[in-house]
Structure 1
Amino acid sequence: MTRLESVLTEDDLPLSELWAACRDGELVPLSSSAFVFADVPQTPVVRALAVRPVLARRSIIERHSAAWVHGALATPPRLHTIAVRYANRSSASRNLAVVREVALRPGDTMTVVGIEVTTPLRTAIDLARDRAFDDAKDSPVIAKLLASSGLPECRAYLAAARNLPHKARALQRITDALLFAAMER
């Protein structure tokens, strides 16, 4: 008998069977497009594999989707956000994802099981630069993403970044998020 992958999608089994297995307690929905066996820990590898079905070729998991992959968000976003480098902008997108065209610097991404994801630092900066920033929702996520780095790294990154809009706004939001997180400890 063929062993199933730890992350299952409609490519593996019909959606009705996946949901029936959820009702039976064998699977749990991991995102809008993926399911995982109930006893499999939700690691960055498993979460990245759960986003893979919505990725276009040469695309990158970013923003709230990357925050979820890194473990800074408990639940996945309803729609995943993926990025396509400016040079690869002809890549087609799939459903269940918002696709953005971005310019990334070397070191802005990392690879998780062959899937490109923005680093925790770049993810935090992107969330802080976003017009849709929600202080109550996004500040704790930013603090978790920056738990292993911090404000000095953010300042250095933003100082070196050319043509990156909303740098001052991002730095203020990151400073506030880290200060609030430190006061809660």
Structure 2
Amino acid sequence: MTALLPRLFRPDVLPLAELMALCLDGQLYRVGDSFATLDTPDSAALRAAAFASSAPSHVIADRGTAAWIHGARAAPSHRPQVCVDARSRGGRIPPEFDGRQTTLSRGDVQLIDEARVTSPARTALDLLCVDGRFSPDAAAQVLYLLDRAGVPVSSIKSRMRGSSRTNARRYLARADQLSARARSVLRPFPGPTRSSR
């Protein structure tokens, strides 16, 4: 009779030192703050389950955490990034989370495994509108998320024009840069040139 192993191991199941040793031995790999066996496929559902195992049920994974769950980045944020809808009354956000209140529209949130996560298009919008420097890595994540959502950059620009966000002009300039980058990435390969003989 074979025993069924859990899909994810957390430090409340085995001590962290043992889990890390199993990683070094090549028997487990890290999934956020959890660990999975090598025969467990890495997927959005697995990453969402890892997030849900340590997050309160009323919070929604957003920004960097949502980008990680959707596969746009290799590792989650150092502090899980979450939000709550400003229109709903929910519980407080624990201090170990990078949390915020925001207004969410229909279609902005989806359920993946046990976790509520901002959709790829909403995650792209949130990453585009972060304060501070907009790195090439962040731009690549936004383009990946838009591609996954099947949404062109122009639709994000339209949504930003109708928004009351402060710094909207700066974010629209970023979207213009993304449009140019997307065109250069998607330009067809010119093919081999014929050499004259």
Q: TM-score range by the shorter chain?
A: 0.7 to 0.9
Q: What's 1:149 paired with? A: 151
Give the C-alpha shift of residue 61 in structure 1. 0.2
Distance (whole Å) between structure 2 residues aligned to residue 22 and residue 74 of structure 1: 17
- Structure 1 residue aligned with 2:182: 181
Report what 2:115 is aligned to.
Answer: 115
Report deviation, 1:24. 1.8
Residue equivalent to 2:195 = none
8 Å CA contact 1:128–1:169 kept in 2: the answer is no
The higher radius of gyration belongs to 2
Give the Cα separation in 1 of the matches to 2:56 and 2:95.
6
Cα deviation 1:164-184 (Å, max 9, x = unaligned): 333333232123124213313
- Greater relative CO (CA pairs within 8 A, separation 6+): 1
2:90 counterpart of 1:100: no
Deviation at 1:59? 0.4
What number of residue pairs does the alignment pair up?
Answer: 182
CA distance in 2, matches of 1:85, 1:184: 35
1:58–1:88: 8 Å Cα contact kept in structure 2? no
| Conserved? CA contact 1:56–1:91, under 8 Å | no
Cα distance in 2 between the residues matched to 1:24 and 1:146: 37
Partner of 2:35: 35
Rounded to whole Å, the distance in 2 between the matches of 1:173 and 1:183 is 15
Shift, 1:35, TM fit? 1.1
Aligned pairs for 1:1-185 (under 5 A) are 2-31=3-32, 33-86=33-86, 87-93=88-94, 95=96, 97-147=97-147, 148-161=150-163, 163-185=164-186
User: Per the alignment, do residues 14 and 129 of structure 1 end up closer, same or farther by CA in structure 2, a change over 3 Å counting?
Assistant: same
Name the SS for the 1:42 alignment partner.
coil
Determine the C-alpha separation between the residues in 2 that align with 1:131 and 1:159. Answer: 18
Task: Please identify which structure carries the higher helix content.
Answer: 1
Residue 137 of structure 2 aligns to a residue in which SS? helix
Unaligned residue ranges in structure 1 (runs of 5+): none
Residue identity opposite 2:144 in structure 1 = K
Q: CA RMSD in A?
A: 2.0
Q: Which AA in structure 2 matches 1:109?
A: V
